[in-house]
């Protein structure tokens, strides 16, 4: 009996569809600011770094850690350590005060929105064709600076100077108050904090 061999040749390709893994909570993510698309990738990276370094707000607002400083040398050291540890939280406190000031000042809010809208339109036009003044091509940063300079009279008329000093003053007061009375040692080195308390009681 003769063996008959059947040779089958050919390439078989199986298409695989790659699926992205997700948790189902993508809608809760904070939208990314398109700063890298308008010429400022460094600003985008800096904002993302600040967001990643935010301390828990429950820790930041924990009233059980509010204690008066034991001495003036410890006060200056505590302020510096709190500013270093909670710098991202303090930054968002400043941003919150800026937003509050804009909401309570409709004219200032309108002026800021008009200035930002102008910058956005100019950036779109600059992406297609560079702007020139007296045969000199302007960079995107120079265009933004020109828009800002032209917006200064409008900001002055709507009271942007008073609003700026108010935000700076209130931010300085709140940040200094929190940094002076928040006992950072209870978080960074709780054992040392308890030892200092025992020493103070014995004295």
CA quadruple 195, 196, 198, 199: dihedral, nearest 10: 120
Segment 88-113, tens digit of pLDDT: 999 999 999 999 999 999 999 999 99
pLDDT band at 69; cut points 50, 70, 90: confident
pLDDT above 90 (res 198): no
Nearest to 192 by CA among 77, 52, 102: 77
Domain count, the chain: 1
Q: What does pTM read for this prediction?
A: 0.66
Residues 6+ apart with CB under 8 A from 96: none
User: Residues 187, 55: contact at Cβ < 8 Å?
Assistant: no
Average pLDDT, the chain: 77
How many Å apart are CA 124 and CA 115, to the nearest integer? 14
Is residue 197 one of the residues assigned to a domain? no
Got the DSSP string for 33-100? PTTGGGT-HHHHHHHHHHHHTPPPHHHHT-GGGB---SSHHHHHHHHHHHHHHSHHHHHHHHHHHHHH
Segment 139-187, tens digit of pLDDT: 888 888 888 899 999 999 999 999 999 999 999 999 999 999 999 888 8
- Residue recorded with tokens 């900001």: 155
Is residue 29 one of the residues assigned to a domain? no
- Structural domain boundaries, residue 89: 67-183
Q: What interhelical angle do 87-103 and 41-52 show, nearest 10?
A: 110
Residue 169: per-residue pLDDT: 95
What is the gyration radius of the CA atoms in the chain, in angstroms? Answer: 29
Is residue 24 one of the residues assigned to a domain? no
Residue 7: per-residue pLDDT: 52
pLDDT band at 192; cut points 50, 70, 90: low
Is residue 32 one of the residues assigned to a domain? no
Is residue 41 one of the residues assigned to a domain? no
Is residue 202 one of the residues assigned to a domain? no
49 C-beta neighbours (distance < 10 Å), count: 10
Mean pLDDT over residues 116-135, rounded?
83
Is residue 156 one of the residues assigned to a domain? yes
Is residue 89 one of the residues assigned to a domain? yes
User: Residues 95, 160: contact at Cβ < 8 Å?
Assistant: no
């Amino acid at each position: 009996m003769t063996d008959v061999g059947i040779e089958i040749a050919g390439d078989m390709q199986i298409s695989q569809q790659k699926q992205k893994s997700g948790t189902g909570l993508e809608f809760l993510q904070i939208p990314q600011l398109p700063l890298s698309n308008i010429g400022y990738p460094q600003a985008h990276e800096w904002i993302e770094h600040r967001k990643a370094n935010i301390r828990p707000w429950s820790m930041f607002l924990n009233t059980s850690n509010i204690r008066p400083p034991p001495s003036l040398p410890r006060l200056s050291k505590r302020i510096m350590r709190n500013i270093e540890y909670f710098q991202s939280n303090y930054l968002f406190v400043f941003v919150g005060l800026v937003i509050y000031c804009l909401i309570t000042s409709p004219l200032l809010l309108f002026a800021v929105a008009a200035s930002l809208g102008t910058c956005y339109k100019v950036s779109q036009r600059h992406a297609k064709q560079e702007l020139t003044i007296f045969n000199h091509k302007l960079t995107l940063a120079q265009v933004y600076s020109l828009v800002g300079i032209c917006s200064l009279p409008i900001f002055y008329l709507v009271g942007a100077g008073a609003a700026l000093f108010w935000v700076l003053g209130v931010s300085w007061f709140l940040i200094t108050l929190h940094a002076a009375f928040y006992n950072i040692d209870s978080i960074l080195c709780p054992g040392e904090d308890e030892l200092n308390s025992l020493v103070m009681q014995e004295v």
